[in-house]
Structure 1
Amino acid sequence: MTVYIFDGSFEGFLTALFEFYERKPGRIQLVLQSHFQPGLLEEPFEVITDPAKSTRVWKGLQAKLSPDWQKRFYTAFLSEVPDFFQHLFEAACYIFDHAKGAEHNYGNPALLAVAQMDRSVHREKHRMEAFIRFQETADGIFYAPIEPDYNVLPLISRFCKNRYADQQWIIYDLKRKYGLFYDLQTVAEVSFEMIPEAKTAGTYLPEQLLDSQEHLYALLWNDYFKSTNIPARKNMKLHIQHVPKRYWKYLTEKKGKN
């Protein structure tokens, strides 16, 4: 079997599709470059990302897919789950090989997998929109670190720009080592060499980097949550279902809790 090795980018994925239809090697396995391990019975083929080829393939998919499914396709890709790329590849081939509207055939395992992954990524997107907690730095920029299961920064960019339009902010994905910076006009991608990580809830930036009033805002936020809490209605199982513990270290209101 031929193994197509790509760099993990969306353009690289689309280029792999182009090469597949150009070369017609039969059934292939699509593998991330970072996860590739040579095998005795496999023939590796390195996909060189080509913007012209990827643009051509994406236009072809757009002609076949409804606008809703175009979004689903890209959203599912942002899962970055290594084993899922094969499903996405097979779904794209199914779309190309059948008449327009084929994406609605959920009897196809690959299309079903794409629809399910789209829901999972969107669920993580909504959680990140709800769980972002900023700390104001000494230079007036609001900073919030996140570690989502999936690469949802491209999906929350517009929401955050509209919701936090009156302040400069950085939302940084610690897992993927890049973030979004809003300068009151546009949102741009940024990357830093050294980024502090949360040790305990609500303490992800050193005190010397924070605005002098930041600790007071944190106290007010905690007091608000305490005042609105009703102990008799406490349902920790339901709470954890909606706010999983893996997010707690970035929530100011969870400071001091396990």
Structure 2
Amino acid sequence: MSRSLTPLNRPDAAVTPAGTPAARPLAPALTGPPLDYAYDGSFEGLLTVLFTIYDRKAAPNSIQPLGAVQGGLFTQPLLVETHEATAGRVWEGLLKHMTPEARTKLFHAFLSEQSDRELLIFRYADLAMRSARDIADNFADDNVRRVAHLAQQMGREKHRMEAFVRFEKTSDELFHATIEPDFDVLPLIAPHFTKRYADQRWLIFDQRRHYGLYYDLHRTDIVQFEAGTAAPRRSGVSATVLDEREPLFKVLWQTYFDHVNIPERKNMKLHRRHIPLRYWKYLSEKQPRETRFEPIRNKRGDQLRS
């Protein structure tokens, strides 16, 4: 399955020169018999499927990625080959029916990996193309509510990944980190890390989805891993691969974390709410301590007591 960091690099406006919104064209009626569609699992592939639906005027019974295709007893799904130019036309054309923010929510809904995400995106887009008004706030519709909820969940996961990623430095000057988010958020966090760590080579590996982001000091690319490939887990990286100073960096980070902590104000319930347990195995400060923690002594107080 191909992946992209952004859905498509297309303009984000569909307005007339005078600045007024362009007229909303109506979607063609889907008068043909419903069909089952199959695609390669990419977002560009799904956009190509949307084009095919209206080109054939045949509503979807189902839209399935190739790895999960379930054919009927007497019918086989229609395989739609991904066409990037067609996908680009669809992506740009959506702005005639929705705002850039609403269009972005569709991309977020796709990255959520919900089992029915394809039909959900189709129903949302179809509703938008048949409405004379913007549907983004039409929460009476179940599809609008679900897309908004998924976009909100993706936003929270993106924020957490940007805060909880912990890099380790290897002997060849590569900073790597392993994550295992609930949703496919790597395309969403790529701009943040590209901008913040522009002066170092880094790799962020998604343990669950077997692919990662690699920045080589010039650009950020997607690197694909075969299913079953041994992944660079924080607890499983060979000491010979790490920079010789990495254990010291880890101890320094843990020491800093311990010293800024206030034991008297400890609230584990609140702590777990802000940092869920599922993230702990990849956080340096949550790993077993290699040195015993001792509070910083007040030197001036010690001298007065002596």
Provide closer, same or farther for how the CA distance between residues 5 and 192 of structure 1 changes in structure 2, counting only shifts above 3 A. closer
1:144 maps to: 177
Aligned length: 254
In the other structure, the counterpart of 1:196 is 231
State which of 228, 239, 247 in structure 2 corresponds to 1:215: 247
Q: Answer whether contact 1:168 1:184 (CA < 8 A) is retained.
A: yes
- Equivalent position amino acid for 1:218 in 2: K
Contact (CA 8 Å) 2:176, 2:202: kept in 1 or not?
Answer: yes
Q: Which residue of 2 aligns with 1:176?
A: 209
Letter in 2 for 1:209: V
Which TM-score applies when normalising by structure 2? 0.77
Pick aligned residue for 1:115 from 132, 148, 152: 148
Hey, what does 1:226 align to over in structure 2? 258
Matched, 1:255 2:287: yes
Distance in structure 1 (CA, Å) of the matches to 2:81 and 2:260: 55
Q: State whether residues 120 and 143 of structure 2, in contact with CA within 8 Å, keep that contact through their aligned partners in structure 1.
A: yes
Alignment match, 2:198:
165
Question: Which piece of structure 1 moves more, 63-72 or 25-34?
Answer: 25-34
CA distance in 1, matches of 2:85, 2:195: 33
C-alpha distance in structure 2 between counterparts of 1:204 and 1:127, whole Å: 23
Contact 2:165/2:177 (<8 A) preserved: yes
Structure 1 SS opposite 2:222: strand
Contact 1:124/1:152, CA 8 A, preserved across alignment? yes
Measured against aligned partners, the alpha-carbon deviations of 1:205-245 in whole angstroms (never above 9, x if no partner) come to 21110000000000011111111222222222221121111
- In structure 2, how many angstroms separate the alpha carbons of the residues matched to 1:251 and 1:35? 34
2-structure distance, mates of 1:38, 1:196: 34
Paired residue for 2:273?
241
AA aligned to 2:106 is F
Deviation of the 1:100 alpha carbon: 4.7
- Within 2, Cα distance between the matches of 1:127 and 1:86? 28
Alpha-carbon offset, residue 104 of structure 1: 2.8
Q: Give 1:94's aligned amino acid.
A: L
Deviation at 1:105, TM superposition (A): 1.8
* CA apart distance, 1:27: 5.0
User: Paired residue for 1:51?
Assistant: 84
Sequence identity, in percent?
43
Larger Rg: 2
SS in 2 for 1:144: strand
Give the superposition deviation at 1:43. 5.4
Tell me how far apart the structure 1 counterparts of residues 177 and 188 of structure 2 sit (CA, whole Å).
Answer: 16
Q: 1:118 deviation in Å?
A: 0.4
Amino acid in the other structure paired with 2:64: V
Correspondence for 2:116 among 63, 83, 105 = 83
User: Contact 2:37 / 2:60 at 8 angstroms: preserved in 1?
Assistant: no
Q: Is the 8 A contact 1:174 1:195 kept in 2?
A: no
1:108-139 deviation per Cα after TM superposition (whole angstroms, max 9, x unaligned): 21111111100011111011001100000001
1:206 matched residue in structure 2: 238
Structure 2 gap segments, 5+ residues each = 1-33, 290-306
Q: What letter corresponds to residue 139 of structure 1 in structure 2?
A: D
Task: String of CA shifts for 1:65-118, please: whole Å, max 9, x gaps.
Answer: 212112222122111222222211110111122225233322221111111100
For the 8 Å contact 1:165–1:184, the answer to whether it is kept is yes
Distance 1:177 1:209 in 2: 20
Q: Secondary structure at the match of 2:136?
A: helix
SS of the aligned residue for 2:240 comes to helix
